């Protein structure tokens, strides 16, 4: 279990993390979300004592990180996949980590096979792609058979097979009682993986709830409908309380009414439908609703400039 209490971090006049308190509990995958600059990575670094908090404390299974003589047996982490000496081979990197934490060296080969790096185990890490770096970092995190796992953007660079493998691995570890804490900008994937979500913005916790509750509270889902009389249909739906927008292909995107009601309104008006599709609530929609007032960097919604 990870316990974070009243944690703050200042850099001069900038408050990167602002008195956050939360628990990451065993038996579930907890996702950690936030806009760029929100304090996610700083919080994770303070959990590992890589950054010293201005105020507050972190406990791993009831004790600070520095109280554990062999920390890789307590928490396995991946914060920066490229933070590896490039001249080492993948195998030697893991052997060094195992030796430093009193881990049976036989685990090295097990982890190399597990993450799919057997064919390149004796290659120097500096020759690795981003995806291979991520796999090596995951192997290092799992090396000590820890009961707590923490990953910052582990999906970057992984192919479809790797993403599916990691999702299944994390869910399996959580189901076996591990504490799993993962930060990612890949919201669609995280929605499939995380049982619980923490959302941070401008250094403060904005939401701390099960994924299902965050989706139900902050995202409504939409109905996509297509007809040869879209303007007339839109008028009927708007009068019934719907909010309407049009896609690039001319379909109507309907918010505020369910698919059954949309179909009934179209039928009563004698309007034939070519498509009636319900799209469930998305984590992206919920995330944007929660963090709308806590985003420091926004894209310009206008047209892109002409190429020069």
Mean pLDDT by 10 residues, the chain (308 residues): 97 93 97 94 95 96 92 95 90 96 95 96 95 95 97 92 94 97 92 95 96 87 90 94 87 88 95 90 88 64 47
- Per DSSP bridges, beta strands 273-279 and 196-201 are unpaired
Q: Is residue 112 within 8 Å of residue 90, measured between CB atoms?
A: yes
Report the distance separating Cα 19 and Cα 201, nearest Å.
Answer: 12
Give the count of beta carbons closer than 10 Å to the beta carbon of residue 246: 12
3-class SS at 236?
helix
Q: Are 183 and 152 in contact (CB under 8 A)?
A: yes
Q: What is the pLDDT of residue 218?
A: 85
pLDDT tens profile 141-164: 999 999 999 999 999 889 999 999
Q: What is the pTM of this model?
A: 0.83
| Contact in structure between 293 and 202 (CB atoms under 8 Å) | no
Question: What span, in angstroms and rounded, lies between the C-alpha atoms of 297 and 292?
Answer: 11
């Amino acid at each position: 279990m990870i316990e974070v209490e009243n944690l703050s971090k200042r850099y001069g006049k900038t408050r990167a993390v602002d008195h956050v308190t939360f628990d990451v509990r065993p038996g579930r995958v907890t996702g950690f979300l936030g806009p760029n600059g929100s304090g996610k990575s700083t919080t994770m670094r303070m959990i590992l004592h890589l950054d010293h908090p201005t105020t507050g404390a972190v406990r791993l299974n009831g004790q600070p990180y520095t109280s554990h003589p062999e920390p890789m047996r307590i928490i396995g982490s991946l914060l920066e996949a490229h933070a590896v000496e490039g001249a080492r081979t993948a195998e030697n990197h893991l052997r060094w980590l195992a030796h430093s934490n009193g881990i049976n060296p036989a685990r090295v080969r097990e982890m190399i096979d597990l993450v799919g790096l057997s064919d390149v185990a004796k290659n120097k890490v500096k020759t690795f792609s981003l995806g291979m770096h991520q796999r090596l970092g995951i192997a290092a995190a799992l090396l000590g058979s820890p009961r707590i796992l923490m990953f910052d953007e582990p999906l970057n660079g992984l192919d479809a097979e790797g993403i599916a493998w990691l999702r299944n691995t994390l869910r399996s570890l959580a189901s076996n009682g591990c504490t799993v804490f993962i930060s990612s900008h890949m919201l669609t994937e995280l929605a499939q993986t995380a049982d619980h979500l923490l959302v941070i913005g401008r250094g403060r916790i904005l939401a701390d709830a099960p994924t299902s509750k965050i989706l139900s509270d902050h995202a409504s889902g939409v109905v996509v409908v297509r007809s040869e009389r879209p303007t007339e249909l839109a008028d009927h739906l708007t009068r019934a309380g719907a909010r309407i927008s049009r896609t690039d292909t001319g379909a109507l995107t309907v918010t505020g009414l369910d698919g059954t009601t949309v179909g009934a309104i179209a039928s009563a008006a004698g309007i034939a439908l070519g498509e009636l599709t319900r799209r469930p609530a998305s984590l992206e929609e919920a995330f944007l609703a929660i963090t709308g007032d806590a985003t420091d960097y926004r894209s310009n919604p206008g047209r892109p400039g002409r190429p020069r």
